Chain A
Amino acid sequence: MNEAVIPSAALPKGPFGLRRNLLPAVLFLAFALAPLAVAFGADPFFQSILIRIMIFAIAAISLDLILGFGGMVSLGHAAFIGIGAYAVGILASHGIEEAHVQLPITLAVASLFALVTGAISLRTKGVYFIMITLAFAQMIMFFATSLSAYGGDDGLTIWTRSQVFGSDILGNRTIFYYVTFAVMLGCYLLCRAMVVSRFGRVLRGSKENPVRMEAIGFSPYRFQLAAYVIAGMMCSLAGFLLANQAEFVSPAYMSWQRSGELLIMVILGGLGSLHGAVIGAAALLLLEEGLAGFTEHWKIILGPLLVLVALFLRQGILGLLTGKKNND
């Protein structure tokens, strides 16, 4: 009887449908199996690049959560990468190397920074929001630059990777690969669950029409702020992993160019799909890698490519793959 009242299409068969899940499944499977290629003789460097891609994919997924579903154009998201990385670096330099100590501190600092800066930034709209997120990221970057005890401008070398209950298993490249993979997959699944949850529905509604949301009794601000904090914490995990991979942290991790790259990844892959962020991260980093092998002045090619993407590829690579029409 009730089934007759509720039209079947209203039930989210979409999120569970094969069509919608095929691409992400293939994508994540490819990442899961890639180390085999190295085992069968591919260049180990390849695996490092993949780790890097996955780390930035985590950051890009978290950005897509607030950008693609919350409509918040943050040009300062790399700040959270920096926070995660510096948490590892600074704690390690004081001999605190245990991951189970470092991680909660990382998340706590990231959430605090997100809460304070988000609370102020979200009072503004449009261009102001873009600018103020950018400025907060600059602020924390200059703060890192002024920390002469921790390397200042030159950055900080991490002598010991994070320890897992006293063991150095993160030093093993394959284990580190799968830890990164697990974090990426976890973040992806978490975000997928969130965007279709009650919370996510309010967030998406607030992106479309904040006044309507107020008129049915919601405060968009609270939901946006919560999403901003969650995304910030998630992105700090990327920083945590990046510090461990590079064994080095530097203020440059937080530069606005880095934040811009994160935006590019999300747009390039396809906004508001989450796995598009993974595709975008892979595409941008592989493109950079490929072009850099071709010429030292690779940016002179990448720049115009980005312009073309902005002009002609509105739905990103995902739009190409799924055949969504691109111009309008």
Chain B
Amino acid sequence: MSTTLLVVQTLNGLQFGILLFLIAAGLTLVFGVMDFVNLAHGVQYMIGAYLAATFTALTGNFLWGLLLALPTALVVGIILEVLVFRHLYERDHLSQVLATFGVILFLNEAVKLIWGAAPLGVPVPEMLSGNVVLMDGVLYPVYRLVIIGAGLAVALLLYFGVNHTRVGMLVRAGASNPRMVSALGVNIGRLFMIVFGFGAMLAGFAGIMVAPILSVEPGMGDNLLILAMVVIVIGGIGSIRGAFIAALLIGLVDTLGRSFFGDLLRLFMPAATASQTGRAIAPMLIYILMAAVLFFRPAGLFPARR
């Protein structure tokens, strides 16, 4: 295991973690504030990526693509909220699972119908396309650093938004005690719509940002959704701070685990067995981590609800 690889993979893990955070942040609020199981959150991420691809191609400029895709993602989220989700808040988890599952099927297929089944590519914006030299002989793509930076900036904004604004206060109150918020005479319907739309936009933002480095394809949000769920379960449902810490944890454990877990095992067993076992166990690491966390803390690391 070389230091170069370690540095690069740590950064990759960080970038992956940030991405997970962007998706998980909205989801954890939707879960926490509305007690709403939204499986369709992953498709918002996919839609963000497709919108970025379309608008970038139309305008020839990624920045314009971003600026146009972001509000469109918000609008899509709000349309879904009005058409489907708001009718489900009062319902049991089972109905929510069923309905949002239906939404996933629909949107994954709709995307296929509109854009075709073949993956789309979005060129990395020229300005951000180079590499930076991190240290002797270690190059790292500028764009990935930009993702990390943008994600951290959003995290910071969210932190201030949730902690220092009126809506943020209501959101926090809602996550810890939903009944109290409605008793305060707050327009719950509007609060939910804001939280939902905002969460959809954040997931869309994640999709937009990764469009240049991943292939944009139908169903791309499905597996990320599961990871985002692992994140919020570990972090504690409804907790932004928990989501942030858990997202970085998952990003790093998953990325580093896949690269180095086999090497780690080599300390305890013969090389061939180690690499084989490592390959088998590495993808399971984050789930084992989650099981361990929940075993000791069934409500996650930072439970919002008491």
Which residues on A are within 8 Å of B, measured CB to CB? 67, 73, 75, 117, 120, 123-128, 130-132, 134-136, 138-139, 142-143, 145-148, 256-257, 260, 263-264, 267, 271, 297, 299-300, 302-307, 309-311, 314
Give the Cβ gap from A20 to chain B, nearest Cβ, in Å. 23
Say which residue of B31, B99, B108, B288 sits within 8 Å of A311 (CB atoms). Answer: B99
Within 8 A of A (CB), among B92-128: 93-99, 101-110, 112-113
Distance A257 CA – B101 CA, assembled complex (angstroms): 8
CB B189 to nearest CB in A, in angstroms, measures 17
Q: Which residues of B contact A (CB under 8 A)?
A: 31, 35, 37, 39, 84, 87-88, 91, 93-99, 101-110, 112-113, 222, 226, 229-230, 232-233, 237, 279-284, 287-288, 290-291, 294-295, 298-300
Chain B residues near A135: list those with CB within 8 A. 226, 229-230, 233, 287, 290-291
Whether B106 pairs with A310 at a CB distance below 8 angstroms is no
The listed residue (B99, B232, B283, B295) touching A146 by CB distance below 8 A is: B283
Q: Is the interface of A mostly helix, strand, loop or mixed?
A: helix
Determine whether the beta carbon of A126 is less than 8 Å from that of B104. no
> Is the pair A311, B88 in contact by a Cβ cutoff of 8 Å?
yes
Which of B99, B102, B113, B291 lies in contact with A302, CB distance below 8 A? B102
Whether A300 pairs with B230 at a CB distance below 8 angstroms is no
Contact of A307 among B99, B284, B288 (CB under 8 A): B99
Whether B109 and A299, one on each chain, are in contact in the complex, defined by CB atoms closer than 8 angstroms, is yes
Of the candidates B31, B94, B280, B295, the one whose C-beta lies within 8 Å of that of A267 is: B94
Contact A302 B237 (CB under 8 A): no
Contact between chains at A310 and B110 (CB < 8 Å): no
Once the chains bind, are B109 and A300 in contact (CB under 8 Å)? yes
Q: Tell me whether B105 and A303 are in contact (CB under 8 A).
A: yes
Instruction: Choose one: A130, A300, A306, A307; the contact of B37 (CB below 8 Å).
Output: A130
Residues of B within 8 A of A267 (CB): 94-95, 98
Cβ contact within 8 Å between B99 and A306: yes
| Pairs across A and B, CB under 8 Å, 18 listed | A67-B94, A123-B294, A127-B93, A131-B229, A134-B229, A136-B287, A136-B291, A142-B287, A257-B222, A260-B39, A267-B98, A300-B113, A303-B109, A305-B102, A306-B101, A306-B105, A307-B84, A310-B98
**A127 and B98 within 8 A (CB):** no
* Contact A303–B102 (Cβ < 8 Å): yes
A128-B233 in contact (CB<8A): yes
Closest chain B CB from A125 CB (angstroms) = 8
Contact A128 B299 (CB under 8 A): yes
Say how far A107's CB is from chain B's closest CB, in angstroms.
23
Task: Note all chain A residues with C-beta closer than 8 A to B88.
Answer: 310-311
Question: Is the CB–CB distance between B103 and A303 below 8 Å?
Answer: yes
CA gap between A314 and B102 in the complex, in Å? 15
- B-chain residues with CB within 8 Å of residue A146 when the two chains form the complex: 279-283
- A138 and B113 in contact, given A73-B97, A124-B298, A128-B233 (Cβ under 8 angstroms): no
Chain B residues, CB < 8 A from A310: 88, 91, 95-96, 98-99, 102
Taking CB atoms, residues of chain A closer than 8 Å to B300 are: 128
Give the chain A neighbours of B37 by CB distance below 8 A: 127, 130
Shortest beta-carbon contacts, A-B, top 6: A303-B106, A306-B102, A303-B105, A139-B287, A310-B99, A142-B283
The interface residues of chain B lying within 8 Å CB-to-CB of A143 are 280, 283-284
Question: Bound complex: CA of A299 vs CA of B101, how far in Å?
Answer: 11
A73-B93, A124-B299 provided; 16 other pairs, C-beta below 8 A? A126-B35, A130-B93, A130-B97, A132-B290, A135-B290, A136-B291, A139-B284, A139-B288, A148-B279, A260-B101, A263-B98, A264-B101, A267-B98, A297-B109, A303-B103, A310-B102
Contact residues in B for A257 (Cβ distance below 8 Å): 222
Q: Which residues of A lie under 8 Å from residue B91 when comparing CB positions?
A: 310
A128 touches B298 (CB 8 A): yes
Shortest Cβ gap from A279 to chain B (Å): 16
